[in-house]
Amino acid sequence: MTETSPMQKTNLLGFDKKTLQDYFVRIGEKPYRADQVLKWIHFNGMQDFADMTNLSKALRQKLSDMADITTPQVIYEKAAADGTYKWLLRLNDGNCIETVFIPEKTRGTLCISSQVGCILNCDFCSTGKQGFNRNLNTAEIISQLWIAVRKLSKMNGLHDHTITNVVMMGMGEPLLNLDNVIPALHIMLDDFAYGLSKRRVTVSTAGVIPAMQQLRAATDVALAVSLHAPNDELRNKIVPLNKKYPLKELMTACRDYFKNDTRRSITMEYVMLAGVNDAPKHAKELIKILEGIKVKVNLIPFNPFPHTEYQRSDASTIHHFCDILMKAGLNTTVRRTRGDDIDAACGQLVGQVKDRTRRHERYLQSTKKKVVGENA
């Protein structure tokens, strides 16, 4: 969100109210102009300062000379058979990110990215296979919502294409980019922008504990934790971040997150991997580690991608796992798989990417060594 050199214009798209107020003071204007411009940009979708009619002509000209409102380029958009929409956005530096809209009967959820790629290398996630490039800035994060609102409003059946929820579950680990994520969250919640409820904006994390504490101090949006395993040995393998922030510490952080609001719960995301984490013993371990934490468990059928060693648990296994959790009193749901035909489902956001981490190559080598050893 830093301002640019005198030769370049300042992109106001990523400025939350406080930053926008400071900007107007610096250019010799009243801070209340921030509310007006914020509403023009986000509520009205305006990019031309000349059309902001409640600003003086002199101010409109000043802003035109000094600033702009720019968004990434939409280079691909497609609807899945189930109504899911996907947009591929090209950033100014040529990198691409993806944004997905998931319509349901009672709500519409937009899944947005926070980074180009991801540094965490979770073993079951296709996004990690492109490696990590960089953090998105605030304008690039909020532009995904800005673009989706405009695109969906032009479609037939407007009531079916309204964004009621935003989840930061796209490419990247949001809590490793808090400097840009938090201002974007402020814009989402601002009544002069999108006016979303704090309960309808969710940030997902694999468990970056210090940043969880910072997020809680900055904004009280909903939290989802990508758990995926009920013990450290297994989680170390499929979520490597666990080696730095093990389950005992993570569960303590989760207990503390909403300790002052007992009405709110944390969503625990748990991808179902056949023969890996889906046995009844895993369900019982999960019940034990979640004791004393108000949670909703979201069981996610794994979405296979090229070269992965994992397979999706079958429906009967998933439902048995779900039954064990529910009988123990845990609020549990099974996520319906969406957007498979356009690579839009969770874990497929980068589609068929080059395996820059060479994980598949290492896996094949290890398998070959094992076979040779057995036949020796």
Alpha-carbon distance of 225 to 276, in angstroms, equals 19
346 classed as catalytic:
yes
Are 173 and 139 a contacting pair, CB within 8 Å?
A: no
- Report yes or no: 223 and 205 within 8 Å, Cβ to Cβ: yes
Amino acid identity, residue 26? R
Distances 101 to 40, 88, 107, 148, 267 between C-alpha atoms, Å: 23, 12, 11, 8, 20
Candidate list 96, 118, 122, 346, residue with the active-site label: 346
User: How many whole angstroms from its chain centre is CA 237?
Assistant: 22
CB 142, CB 187: distance < 8 Å: yes
Angle subtended at Cα 159 by Cα 156 and Cα 160, rounded to the nearest 5 degrees = 75
Catalytic entry in 29, 98, 140, 173 = 98
Residue 98 annotated among the catalytic residues of the structure: yes
Residues recognised as catalytic: 98, 346
